[in-house]
Chain A
Amino acid sequence: MAVSGDEVFSRIQGVLTDALGVDAEEVSPEATLQGDLGAESIDFLDIVFRLEKAFSIKIPKGELFPDDILNNPDFVEGDRLTRAGLERLKTAMPHADFSKFESEPSVSKMPELFTVRTIVKYVESKLRAA
């Protein structure tokens, strides 16, 4: 079933307004889930469940929001990702935009990778592969 780009964005907007209790206008492509939209850890799982339902896709654990990077000592040194950690993250998240993060890959800045656009790109790639 082909879904247009506008429809994909609009459905994702609906998922995020329902999951996070924000207004549709706040859900812009550049908005970050944690910083701008106030998402907490349980919300990430809620978003995954709702996306699966909205698009009839299956989202394996860690595919949209990788969860095996920060607890791996090879990937993190102090507050920064190691080169291996950054490469692993980029492989795990082909749907994210690393242009800003690359120059300063600090753990505290990782949440900024999770934007609405990240989700849109992920869903679009899942729908193409389906």
Chain B
Amino acid sequence: MRWIWIDNFVEFEPGKRASAVKNITLAEEHLHDHFPGYPIMPASLLIEGMAQTAGILVGETRSFKENVILAKIRRAEFDGYAVPGDQVRFDAVLETIDERAAATTGLVLKNGEPMGKVDLMFSHINQSEKPIDLPDHNFVFTDGFLNLLASFRSRGASGSHPTHGS
């Protein structure tokens, strides 16, 4: 199972904002334990989806030169929950970025309706200052994430992309 909690970008304004969608499906193994007979997308994975959306936005701003690591969840509030069949959208906005870190704010929507707010802080770890047991290459922005952005761009969308029901 791949650790990718977003399916597609629907909007990507470099250095400013990004939106990605995730379709919740009963084919996801963990939903059968969370909970048996009552599948709900865990809030922790909604936060991870936002972290991946916002993290790619942050990384792209600096050409994926550094490893962008989620460092702090400044806020995560949810109102309601998402179940198989729902489409969740992560709208991330880049608030601050410098060579040390970045801060993002974000809205989580379920089928177009607001259902949560997730604000995050990311640290930049470049090759010279990383702890010695981390790999030498960029281990955050692997093919999986880079392909998501590449496929969005190759679909010809240069900024906004029309979404269903938005």
Contact = CB atoms under 8 A, between A and B. Distances in A.
B122 to A, nearest CB: 10
Provide the main secondary structure of the chain B interface.
strand
A42 B103 contact: no
A43 B71 CA distance: 9
A49 B71 contact: no
Contacts of A61: 98, 100
A125 to B, nearest CB: 22
A45 interface: yes
A38 to B, nearest CB: 13
A42 B96 contact: no
A69 to B, nearest CB: 17
Given A45-B101, A45-B123, A49-B101, 18 more contacts: A18-B74, A19-B74, A42-B71, A42-B72, A42-B123, A45-B71, A45-B100, A45-B121, A46-B72, A46-B74, A46-B103, A46-B121, A49-B95, A49-B103, A49-B121, A52-B96, A53-B95, A53-B96
Interface of B: 71-72, 74, 95-96, 98, 100-101, 103, 121, 123
Interface string A10-52: 0000000011000000000000000000000011011001001
A42 B100 contact: no
B29 to A, nearest CB: 32
